[in-house]
Amino acid sequence: MTTAFVFPGQGSQAVGMGKELNDGSAAARAVFEEVNDALGQNLSKLMFEGPIDELTLTYNAQPALMAASIAVVRVLESEFDIKMADIASFVAGHSLGEYSAHAAAGTFSLTDTANLLKLRGEAMQRAVPVGIGAMAAIMGGEFETIEEIAAEASKDGGSDRVCTAANDNADGQVVISGHKEAVEKAMEIAKERGIKRAILLPVSAPFHCPLMQPAADEMAVALGNTAFNSPSVPVITNVSAKPETDPEVLRRMLVDQITGRVRWRETVLKMGELGVDQLVEVGTGKVLSGLVRRINRDIAGQSLQNLHDIEAFAEN
């Protein structure tokens, strides 16, 4: 069996995330304490108790999701003597989840990962004033069709309008991002062309599009000042949708990811080409293990969120 560990992105956060792990495992508690210390805030209390509107703020949700994922990895290592590098042939993460993948693979430290994600969330929020940008999920239609619609919406109203395909999540599920007027125009065009559904997403900034360039510039500096190691497991990056191990390439991919498309469908297809037949989602939620069924039914998906999940996985 060839296994890939994957790490969720923003949207999977929920009040109570990680609490059962914290209460039942010293290894998980150590992760949450280290992240709290790194950030100088009681993030774990926010994760365990909410409120959800504060937890959902980008600069809180990003390190919180990472911490919950790494807690699972550490429980596997300490409680069950299962090292990720011994059982996973590849790792990948959806958007911020790529940072979690790097933390799990030892590319950079947990403290550095927490600080990078806090900064990433703040920089992405600063890049575009609230109300200027938007994102929308287009349900139905092939990726190439959505890409064409986004390009058409960009041209309608002037060359300075941005609308682009930001997340290629699965067949029939593409997220577009850019100026609010252009995104709304793309939604209209999609409906005119018979696309099933187009829904504005409740996000505070237009992620993964050229409007995020100021955030990419900030992250280039921060990542340039961060020590990178070779990962213990090849990382399939969002930008290239192929496995990478060179620390300098991985550093560049994380900068490019801020403005670039999340090529998740292609990532899972690449896993299939590489012989992966088991995808293990590590952390909060089941979004990625659910998407795999829409992309490649030959890959079995499962999620590890709590001690029961981890114990069942360790016994198999």
Q: Which of 12, 44, 95, 154 is catalytic?
A: 95
Q: Does the pLDDT at position 78 exceed 70?
A: yes
Do 291 and 75 touch, CB atoms closer than 8 A?
A: no
Number of H helices, E strands in the chain: 15, 10
Using the 8-state DSSP alphabet, how is residue 40 labeled? T
The question of whether 159 is a catalytic residue gets the answer no
* CA 82 distance to own-chain centroid: 24
Residues contacting residue 316 through CB under 8 Å, at least 6 positions apart: none
Class of the CATH domain delimited by 3-127+211-315: alpha beta
pLDDT given for residue 155 in this prediction: 87
The question of whether 240 is a catalytic residue gets the answer no
Do 223 and 232 touch, CB atoms closer than 8 A?
A: no
Do 259 and 275 touch, CB atoms closer than 8 A?
A: no
φ, ψ at 301 (rounded to 5°) = -110, 140
- Taking residues 35-55, what's their average pLDDT? 97
The answer to whether the predicted template modeling score (pTM) of the entire model surpasses 0.85 is yes
Q: Does the pLDDT at position 122 exceed 90?
A: yes
pLDDT given for residue 158 in this prediction: 60
CATH architecture of 133-203: 2-Layer Sandwich (3.30)
pLDDT given for residue 160 in this prediction: 77
Instruction: Give percent above pLDDT 70 in the chain.
Output: 99
pLDDT in tens, 185-219: 999 999 999 998 999 998 888 999 999 999 999 99
Per-domain residue ranges of the chain: 3-127+211-315, 133-203
Q: Does the pLDDT at position 147 exceed 70?
A: yes
Q: Which of 102, 208, 240, 289 is catalytic?
A: 208
